[in-house]
Amino acid sequence: MPPQTDAPFPSTYPQPGPVLDSAPTRIDAGDRHVEVLLSLRDPCLVLLGNVLSPEECAALIEAARPRLARSLTVHTPTGSEELNAHRTSDGMFFERGESPLLRTIEARLARLLHWPPENCEPLQVLHYRPGTQYEPHHDYFDPTEPGTPSLLRRGGQRLATLVLYLNTPEQGGGTIFPDLGLEVAPRQGNAVFFRYDRPHPSSRTLHGGAPVLAGEKWVATQWMREQRFD
Ligand code: PD2
Ligand code: ZN
């Protein structure tokens, strides 16, 4: 368990993420070459291209569509899930490895991010209609909240997030990072990876899904945990 304070994890602590030491322009993710489009060192944030094919994006959307329900968020004081006015998307979780498509994508992401699928929460698909959004939040579990210890018992702390864009909205729907003054434009097949080096706002990983202004937005997200998430 890393320190649950505002001190960063030790640099020797294993963490997910693409290996960028040799400044690659593309990464061999096994069955696909992924492009490195932008990288920020602190916090670690990488914009990746060609992560999913258009066919894979369409297949994920069609598999998710009949299973969508209004998105819930974790209520950290209690650890339970609840409706949240700040998150107006619809969503669903796949089961890990539930289909050949899921197994192919999970294996690719594991190779790309050097993190075992067992330590990841299953892929989640989110659907935003015009006017819907996900207001800025942190994805780690706040160590000061009373519900957090029970959430950490299954898989430990969240360490990183991958947001995969399954379509290109007409207008709006960017992933915003207010502490960094950064907005990632959603583009089908691209993904943004970011890592929080401590479960604290000083990680500067506050982020949100900006309102969709025209068209719709589909994303898949994956959260990486310290330990097995079974
Ligand atoms: O849909 C997004 O862009 C988005 C933004 C912020 C998704 C998440 N957070 C998430 O699923 O954590
Ligand atoms: Zn988030």
State the average pLDDT for the chain. 93
* Extents of the domains making up the chain: 26-62+93-141+152-225
Count of other CB atoms within 10 angstroms of residue 69: 8
The first and second tokens of residue 93, run together, are: 């979780």
What is the position in ligand 1's atom list of the atom closest to the CA of 136?
6
What is the position in ligand 1's atom list of the atom closest to the CA of 174?
3
Ligand showing the shortest atom-to-Cα distance for residue 223: 1
CATH label, 26-62+93-141+152-225, candidates 2.60.40.1930, 3.90.1150.10, 2.60.120.620, 1.10.1060.10: 2.60.120.620
Name the closest-CA residue to atom 1, ligand 1. Answer: 209
The set of residues, in sequence order, having a beta carbon less than 8 Å from that of 138 and lying 6+ positions away, is 196, 199, 201, 203, 205, 206, 207
User: Global pTM?
Assistant: 0.92
Helix (H) or strand (E) holding 172: strand 171-172
pLDDT at 91 over 90: yes
Question: Residue range 104-110: average pLDDT?
Answer: 98
pLDDT given at position 2: 53
Pocket of ligand 1 (CB under 6 A): 126, 134, 139, 161, 163, 175, 207-209, 219, 221
Question: Residue range 70-94: average pLDDT?
Answer: 76
What is the position in ligand 1's atom list of the atom closest to the CA of 89?
1
pLDDT at 38 over 60: yes
pLDDT tens-digit readout, 199-220: 999 999 999 999 999 999 999 9
Confidence of residue 8 (pLDDT cuts 50, 70, 90): confident
pLDDT given at position 180: 98
pLDDT given at position 46: 98
